[in-house]
A and B are shown apart, each in its own frame.
Chain A
Amino acid sequence: NAGVTQTPKFRILKIGQSMTLQCTQDMNHNYMYWYRQDPGMGLKLIYYSVGAGITDKGEVPNGYNVSRSTTEDFPLRLELAAPSQTSVYFCASRTGGYTEAFFGQGTRLTVV
């Protein structure tokens, strides 16, 4: 059971480039989330999804887009990367209700 898998683990982008952070889970969870964690800071919610075809904005959605075509996958798209998007990105999933959120191992992104 792989849990939540994120790719890539590390990436360096140049300003203005675009990329997609991949997230997949094999636990059949309905809820999926993207967070960013800046150095020494907490987790800020970027986008979340309550099921295939349904997504909504979190606290810091600007500069990002998401899609949820399947239960398993929840990719995060960065368009026109900016230095302010340098961060560690975590994907998470859960079944809902009073349940634990399982996190991926994170993607460390640097924009230069």
Chain B
Amino acid sequence: GENVEQHPSTLSVQEGDSAVIKCTYSDSASNYFPWYKQELGKRPQLIIDIRSNVGEKKDQRIAVTLNKTAKHFSLHITETQPEDSAVYFCAASIGNFNKFYFGSGTKLNVKP
């Protein structure tokens, strides 16, 4: 099956700085890559996603890049704010989209 690895496990940045979280996947058949944000004690919620036919996607302060050849994708958050503090999960979906495989998560702490 698919194996999704995520780094770093924790990330601490100063407010206003940028944060980058990286994921790799093992199955070249994966073609959909969502990112989820989970605030403490709450459910995961989608923040951005990218398809395999796109190299980059932006949504305000958030962007995701995908390198299919290297089988890795990254989440970029610019101008970080304290409310960005949360756990972020990457995921990969294979083939006909039946299953999502999640990374182990990155705990982002934005210091005021």
Contact = CB atoms under 8 A, between A and B. Distances in A.
Contacts of B51: 98
- The DSSP consensus for interface residues of chain A is loop
Contact of B89 (A33, A42, A59): A42
Contacts of A50: 98
B43 A43 contact: no
A98 B32 contact: yes
Interface in B50-108: 51, 89, 96-105
A50 B100 CA distance: 13
Interface in B1-60: 1, 6, 32, 34, 42-46, 49, 51
Contact of B46 (A48, A90, A101): A101
A53 interface: no
Contacts of A40: 105
B34 A100 contact: yes
A98 B97 contact: yes
A103 B36 CA distance: 11
A31 interface: yes
Contact of A41 (B96, B99, B100, B105): B105
Given A59-B1, A103-B45, A33 B32 contact: no
26 contacts: A31-B97, A33-B100, A40-B105, A41-B104, A41-B105, A42-B6, A42-B103, A42-B104, A42-B105, A43-B44, A43-B89, A43-B102, A44-B102, A45-B99, A45-B102, A48-B98, A58-B99, A59-B1, A97-B97, A98-B49, A100-B49, A101-B34, A101-B46, A103-B43, A103-B45, A105-B42
Given A96-B96, A103-B45, 5 more contacts: A35-B102, A42-B105, A45-B102, A90-B44, A98-B51
